[in-house]
Amino acid sequence: MAPLQVGSPFPEGVTFTYIHPTGTLDLTTCGLPIKYEASKEFQNKKVVLVAVPGAFTPTCQQQHVTSYIANLDKLRAKGVDSIVFIASNDAFVMSAWGKANGIKDESILFASDANAEFSRSIGWASGDRTGRYAVVVDHGKVVYAEADTQRGSIEHSGAEGVLAKL
């Protein structure tokens, strides 16, 4: 798979794993991971796919995820149907990260890009981890795709950077 280009279709066959939110914020209550078929899900929605190097890591927690939580209403007002955070962490860690941030529904999904497989396929992995990037897919078509390469920066992949391009 090649790097994502604005105007191109989102690639076929992209899947992640996640644990469906149960409505509880109890970190000791876990469901079972299920497949999230991103290529199919993104066909009928406007989605912001946000990749971070790791759940609970300093920039990812203190700046990145909080920027999306704080701007959720603004993103919805711009027509965003879904926000999906991915990292190379497993689905259990990603589920706990969502709960730790007060997300108990599908307002923001937290999914696993196991082994950074998708991120590697588009050239935006960072070693064994996913890189830091955001992709906006509008009904199957990539309309925004930018990576942050400077350590600690969320200029292009944070909610404010994405909102400026919507």
Q: What mean pLDDT is reported for the chain?
A: 94
Residue of 141, 162, 164 lying closest to 45 (CA atoms)? 141
- CA Rg, the chain, in Å? 14
**Which of residues 149 and 113 earns the better pLDDT score?**
113
CA–CA separation, 87 and 150 (whole Å): 18
Q: What is the pLDDT of residue 2?
A: 65
- pTM above 0.85? yes
Report the catalytic residues: 60
Q: What is the pLDDT of residue 28?
A: 83
The answer, yes or no, to whether residue 1 has pLDDT greater than 60, is no
The answer, yes or no, to whether residue 159 has pLDDT greater than 80, is yes
Residues contacting 40, CB < 8 A, separation 6+: none
Residues contacting 120, CB < 8 A, separation 6+: none
The answer, yes or no, to whether residue 152 has pLDDT greater than 60, is yes
pLDDT in tens, 14-56: 999 999 988 888 888 888 999 999 999 999 999 999 999 999 9
Phi, psi dihedral angles at 147 (to 5 degrees): -115, 150
The answer, yes or no, to whether residue 63 has pLDDT greater than 80, is yes
